[in-house]
Structure 1
Amino acid sequence: MTWNRDRRARGCRFADRREADRGAASVEFAVLALVVLALVFTAIQVGLYFHARKVAQSAARQGAEAGRQFGASESDGVAQAQTFLNRFGGSVRDASVSSAGSTTEEIRITVRGTVATLVPGLTLDVVQHADAPVERWTNP
């Protein structure tokens, strides 16, 4: 008889333990979901940053190629880079293009802007430049 009583008491202890654990899976899932969402948003933000960087680099390269041609000027390179950004630069916000640092023998096109972000208040800047020698006629 005592054996049955001990067995019932032990069963009640297990039942109490199961009652205490009720809802723990929901809390664990909520915490894990926050971590997974943070990782996903971080991955998306890193992708947006590298995409904007690549677009800015391409715009600077296009501008340098246009400005280095024989008879072209620095303003031609700046205009070409700005045209490229207008067509493809949606991920580079507030973009500005300059030819600061250019010389008579070399053109330098710099593209500056900010990256579209998922987090309000976060500001990521992008600065890319491209250099190229200016084509010119020389006497042999």
Structure 2
Amino acid sequence: MGRRSRHLRAIRARIRRGDDGVLGLELATLALVVLMLAFTTIQVGLYYHARKVAQSAARQGVDAGREFGASESDGVSQAQEYLARYGGSVKDAQVSAGGSTAQQIRITVTGDVATLVPGLKLHVTQHADGPIERWTNP
């Protein structure tokens, strides 16, 4: 209670001194800061969500492409299907199998993050890799 009453006394003292409008200016400034913090928090959440979606799409592509008899294009198409279903937060997504070898498949997903601020460009790149399944002699 002591803290609140000190605050109220300070407001009353300002009013008596004739600081008309200062409280309104302080509240407007504080509201701007709070809104900036809220939008920053939302934007960080959008970035990490897009990153996670891109990583999941790459993982789905690797899982499909590493199966016995599958090809790199199977992995790429599976990752693209995943992005079509769940990738709304990754704009202009591109999927590639660059870096794959005969023993290993690597799927890379790149795209832009949906942003709240016009003109702000955030880019996300995620990849996953795994060994290709094949028959071997014991």
- Do they superpose with TM above 0.5? yes
Q: Give the greater-gyration-radius structure (CA).
A: 1
Partner residue of 2:107?
Answer: 109
Deviation at 1:24, TM superposition (A): 1.1
What is the percent sequence identity of the aligned residues? 71
Partner residue of 2:38?
Answer: 40
Deviation at 1:74, TM superposition (A): 0.1
What 5-or-longer segments of structure 2 have no aligned partner? 1-12
* Paired residue type of 2:89: S
What 5-or-longer segments of structure 1 have no aligned partner? 1-14
2: CA distance, partners of 1:96 / 1:73? 18
Partner residue of 2:132?
Answer: 134
Q: Secondary structure at the match of 1:102?
A: coil
Pick closer, same or farther for the CA change 1:67–1:18 going to 2, 3 Å: same
Deviation at 1:22, TM superposition (A): 1.4
Runs of 4+ in 1 over 3 A off after TM superposition: none
Pick closer, same or farther for the CA change 1:72–1:35 going to 2, 3 Å: same
- Count of residue pairs the alignment pairs up: 126
TM-score, normalisation: structure 1? 0.87
TM-score, normalisation: structure 2? 0.88
1: CA distance, partners of 2:137 / 2:77? 31
Deviation at 1:18, TM superposition (A): 2.3
Partner residue of 1:96?
Answer: 94
Partner residue of 1:52?
Answer: 50
2:24 equivalent to 1:26: yes
Alignment of 1:67-106 (within 5 A): 67-106=65-104
